[in-house]
A = this chain, B = another copy of it.
């Protein structure tokens, strides 16, 4: 009798399907981006809380937030991490221009969460933030990333690849191709990955603890797109694939 070694792995989706899922959630299923991002960010915060070293007295968590929705998930996660008792530091070098993203920033400013200044030439502040933190959240680029890495993101990606701290990648590790995985000099392999809504094909290139988050999908919706709702337990917004 043969046993599949991948019995507990959920099916992966392609870049094309991932984009269609987001479109259907917002266009046909009535979700606002505010709602989806709130739940995604909460799932990311739960994932940090679950995988961080709880005995560490240093509670600094560095969140690297990119210019797109992946970065928005990171900004929401920063707020929830604050509420959970952590001390988030945020690097958000290319702020998005929209009411939602303005609001996400304001929420963090009102909580006096520090934002690390960004410049291409002087990356001392960012390096110090890496050094001072016990855990890094990589929310730079999501599934719509196209290489190459540019500008202020180059030093940030270099520090990510060099860091010895635990790193949680949001949805896919930054600078990976969503279908094919590592595709640039900066394509590092983080310790932890949280796939949002559905795991992408690139997750097969990932070595580490893999969580799924985004508990707003029905069984029927998942089946339509060829993936599965994870067997979430109790109130948890995340599930670990083993």
Contact = CB atoms under 8 A, between A and B. Distances in A.
B216 A83 contact: yes
A28 to B, nearest CB: 7
A82 to B, nearest CB: 8
Interface string A109-133: 0110000000000000000000000
Interface in A1-52: 28-32, 34-35, 38-39, 42, 46, 49
A105 interface: yes
A90 interface: no
Given A30-B110, A31-B107, A32-B99, 19 more contacts: A28-B106, A29-B106, A29-B110, A30-B104, A30-B105, A30-B107, A31-B103, A32-B34, A32-B100, A34-B35, A35-B103, A38-B38, A46-B235, A49-B235, A79-B216, A82-B218, A83-B215, A83-B216, A110-B221
A241 to B, nearest CB: 19
A102 B30 CA distance: 7
Contacts of A235: 46, 49, 84, 235-236
Closest 9 CB pairs of A and B: A30-B106, A30-B103, A34-B34, A38-B38, A30-B107, A32-B34, A29-B110, A35-B38, A83-B215
A29 B119 CA distance: 27
Contacts of A236: 235
A236 B45 CA distance: 12
Interface in A185-242: 215-216, 218, 221, 232, 234-236
B35 A110 contact: no
A35 B106 CA distance: 14
Nearest to A82: B218
Interface in A48-85: 49, 79, 82-84
A218 B112 CA distance: 10
Contacts of A29: 106-107, 110
Contact of A39 (B32, B38, B102): B38
A49 B106 CA distance: 33
Contacts of A107: 29-31
A115 to B, nearest CB: 14
A95 to B, nearest CB: 13
Contacts of A99: 32
